[in-house]
């Protein structure tokens, strides 16, 4: 129980930080949701990185490396280290400027004002919430798995999930954005150190070290695929370059952009983000590959990292490293819960008259009540979800938000874009997600074993819909490819076919302050 006690102390510290932040809070939605837009440069980097690092990055990456090999690093981390900083710089900074000028606190509020739409904004809101909830579920699943595995099964999976859900609820309920970013300072430093320490400690306990293990795996035909790209078809590999487009479209990432004090906060983040991604992903993927050689045949590879820790590190250190994993899981979960609460409060409750009726205090009370409800729903769903963390994230959360990126780009940079273009893109994404969910369940019985060729789902349609071991593909590409390009095409076609927003709105968002003064 020593590792569990260490993790328990860590969770207690997180809850205390949230309660301290509560004492500093004010009874306003801007303070609760955005910490009064006062997040400084270094805190902004630590928070936005913690926001994007979940159980997917720690447990999911090592579990998928166990299944498919070291190419997982190139698949996700390499493209993420390049594209995510670019989207933060080009999109995040513009969101910050717009939010500061017009007071927007969510993406939907911006879309409604930018395209002069109310109902269509609600459609975008509904889809965003539906796509974000699976990501919240992933975080709770990851936390439950950590506590179960690191305790050797003494803490049940459901109890582990419950502990994480409760601590997240307390932190966000009392602390809001301020409590979340304060916790992120502690959490991000902890899980950035995790990879290096875990790699060093485990290497000391492996006979022959990592070099001998890699050489052995390369020489064995049964494991050589782990150190190559053998099980990653080219189209499958390149499909993942579109996944990082989802980052800035996640509501919790966009809300963090609105919370920055100054635009200079984004510069430091752009520089440090690729280095931080490498520090997390490289050790996790490498350890997942080594684990596949040490412990073949695991039924749940997402637990490989925890098994390697518990069997190759002192119990007290395993507890500290377990806390590092938990910190990555919870760092994102707190932001996700806060983001969903922000959206419901501002884009639904406030937009349809709740703020006028109940005031600022009433809005904050509504937000806190909703935090409890949405976390409870995510917890219940996490208990009955058997899917791989990695596949669940890519199939729904990442693919869906990546396909919404053309909507954000059009809103920020294309004057001629219209609300009907945004509606067409949103409905396309919703239709695709529903189709992927149905096809995934329909084709489960025909899924091939790892290393085998994909199965054709409907022979009459050729390779339009194939089934690989874990995913539905289209001509070898993951669903994210037709989703992103279809969304972009529909945005262009429907925008050109419909009337643009009023001249006043276009001037408001696309002309400089001086140009507006000159025109007046």
pLDDT digits (tens, 9 = 90+) for 370-381: 888 888 888 888
Question: In terms of pLDDT, which residue wins out, 276 or 495?
Answer: 495
In whole angstroms, give the CA distance from residue 405 to residue 242.
Answer: 10
pLDDT(365) > 90: no
Highest mean pLDDT among 76-85, 227-236, 319-328, 424-433: 424-433
Question: In terms of pLDDT, which residue wins out, 387 or 91?
Answer: 91
pLDDT(104) > 80: yes
In whole angstroms, give the CA distance from residue 376 to residue 205.
Answer: 41
The whole-model pTM stands at 0.82
At residue 114, the pLDDT reads 94
Highest mean pLDDT among 229-233, 333-337, 465-469: 465-469
At residue 514, the pLDDT reads 42
Backbone angles phi, psi at 477, to 5 degrees: -95, 150
At residue 389, the pLDDT reads 53
pLDDT(207) > 80: no
pLDDT(54) > 80: no
| Residue of 142, 148, 153 whose CA lies nearest to 58 | 142
Percent of the chain with pLDDT over 90: 21
Average of pLDDT values for 509-516? 63
- Quickly state the pLDDT bin for 427 (edges 50, 70, 90): very high
pLDDT(113) > 90: yes
Backbone angles phi, psi at 474, to 5 degrees: -125, 110
Percent of the chain with pLDDT over 70: 92
Are the beta carbons of 31 and 183 closer than 8 angstroms? no
Average of pLDDT values for 496-515? 84
At residue 520, the pLDDT reads 44
At residue 395, the pLDDT reads 65
In whole angstroms, give the CA distance from residue 120 to residue 381.
Answer: 28
At residue 411, the pLDDT reads 95
CATH hierarchy code of domain 2-17+32-401: 1.20.1730.10
Question: In terms of pLDDT, which residue wins out, 56 or 163?
Answer: 163
pLDDT(249) > 50: yes
At residue 26, the pLDDT reads 67
- Quickly state the pLDDT bin for 414 (edges 50, 70, 90): very high
Average of pLDDT values for 89-118? 91
pLDDT(172) > 80: no
At residue 226, the pLDDT reads 84
At residue 392, the pLDDT reads 60
Residue 13 DSSP class: H
E strands in 435-512: 455-456, 466-467, 472-473
């Amino acid at each position: 129980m020593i590792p569990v006690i260490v993790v328990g102390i860590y969770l207690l510290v997180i809850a205390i930080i949230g309660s301290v932040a509560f004492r500093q809070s004010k009874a306003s939605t801007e303070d609760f949701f955005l910490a009064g837009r006062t997040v400084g440069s270094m805190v902004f980097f630590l928070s936005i990185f913690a926001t994007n690092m979940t159980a997917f990055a720690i447990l999911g990456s090592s579990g998928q490396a166990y299944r498919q090999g070291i190419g997982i690093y190139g698949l996700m981390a390499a493209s993420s280290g390049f594209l995510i900083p670019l989207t933060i710089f080009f999109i995040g900074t513009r969101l910050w400027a717009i939010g500061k000028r017009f007071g927007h606190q969510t993406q939907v509020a911006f879309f409604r004002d930018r395209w002069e739409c109310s109902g269509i904004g609600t459609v975008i809101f509904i889809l965003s919430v539906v796509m974000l909830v699976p990501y919240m579920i992933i975080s709770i699943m990851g936390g439950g798995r950590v506590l179960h595995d690191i305790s050797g099964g003494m803490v049940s999976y459901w109890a582990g999930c419950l502990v994480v859900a409760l601590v997240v609820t307390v932190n966000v309920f009392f602390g809001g954005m301020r409590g979340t970013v304060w916790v992120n300072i502690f959490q991000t430093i902890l899980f950035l150190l995790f990879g290096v320490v875990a790699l060093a400690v485990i290497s000391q306990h492996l006979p022959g070290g990592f070099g001998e293990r890699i050489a052995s795996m390369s020489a064995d035909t049964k494991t050589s695929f782990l150190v190559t790209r053998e099980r990653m078809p080219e189209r499958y590999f390149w499909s993942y370059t579109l996944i990082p487009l989802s980052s800035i479209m996640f509501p919790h990432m966009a809300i963090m952009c609105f919370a920055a004090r100054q635009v200079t906060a984004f510069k430091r983040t752009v520089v440090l983000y690729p280095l931080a991604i490498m520090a997390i992903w490289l050790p996790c993927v490498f350890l997942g590959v080594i684990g596949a050689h040490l412990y073949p045949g695991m039924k749940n590879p997402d637990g490989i990292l925890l098994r390697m820790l518990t069997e190759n590190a002192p119990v007290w250190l395993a507890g500290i490293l377990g806390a590092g994993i938990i910190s990555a899981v919870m760092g994102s979960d707190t932001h996700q819960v806060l983001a969903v609460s922000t959206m419901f409060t501002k884009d639904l409750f406030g937009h349809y008259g709740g703020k006028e009726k109940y005031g600022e205090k009433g809005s904050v009370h509504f937000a806190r009540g909703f935090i409890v409800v949405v976390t409870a729903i995510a917890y219940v769903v996490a208990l009955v979800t058997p899917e791989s963390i990695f596949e669940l994230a890519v199939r729904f959360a990442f693919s869906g938000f990546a396909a919404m990126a053309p909507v954000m780009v059009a809103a920020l940079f294309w004057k001629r874009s219209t609300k009907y273009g945004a509606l067409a893109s949103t409905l396309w994404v919703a239709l695709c997600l529903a189709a992927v969910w149905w096809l995934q369940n329909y084709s489960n019985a025909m899924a091939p074993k790892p290393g085998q060729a994909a199965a054709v789902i409907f022979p009459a349609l050729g390779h339009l819909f194939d089934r690989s071991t874990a995913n539905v593909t289209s001509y070898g590409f993951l669903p994210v490819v037709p989703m992103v390009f279809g969304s972009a095409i529909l945005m262009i076609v429907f925008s050109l076919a419909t009337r643009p927003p009023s001249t006043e709105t276009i001037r408001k968002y696309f002309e400089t302050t001086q140009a507006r003064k000159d025109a007046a």
